Amino acid sequence: MAALTTALADAHVVISTVSLMALDAQVPVAQAAKAAGATLFLPSEYGGPTDNLQGLLGAKGTLQDKLREVGPPLLLVYTGPFADYSWSQCVPSCMISFPRG
């Protein structure tokens, strides 16, 4: 925690872009951000609205309350799916193109 706080020492805004697998890691990061004096924290949203969502991505929504408790004020950024990731010619991992011919 101390190490995180030191790492965030001069940050005014902390932006998190961690993947779905590491969402919970944002809690200590938010705590450290607050301790370091940051005034804004952006959790890793960048998808559809999650404040009332069920299922796999719902974890992002429930995490928001925890982050509010321990961290700086939140800025939630909803963008819809990534246009570039979804639609570039990334055939193996495109969620839209399958079955692959």
Instruction: By CB under 8 A, name the binding residues for another protein.
Output: 13, 15, 39-40, 42, 46, 48-49, 55-57, 68, 72-89, 91, 94-101
- Return the amino acid letter for 58: G
List residues bridging with 15 in a β-sheet. 42
3-state secondary structure of 40: strand
What is the full DSSP assignment across 10-31? Answer: T-SEEE----GGGGGGHHHHHH
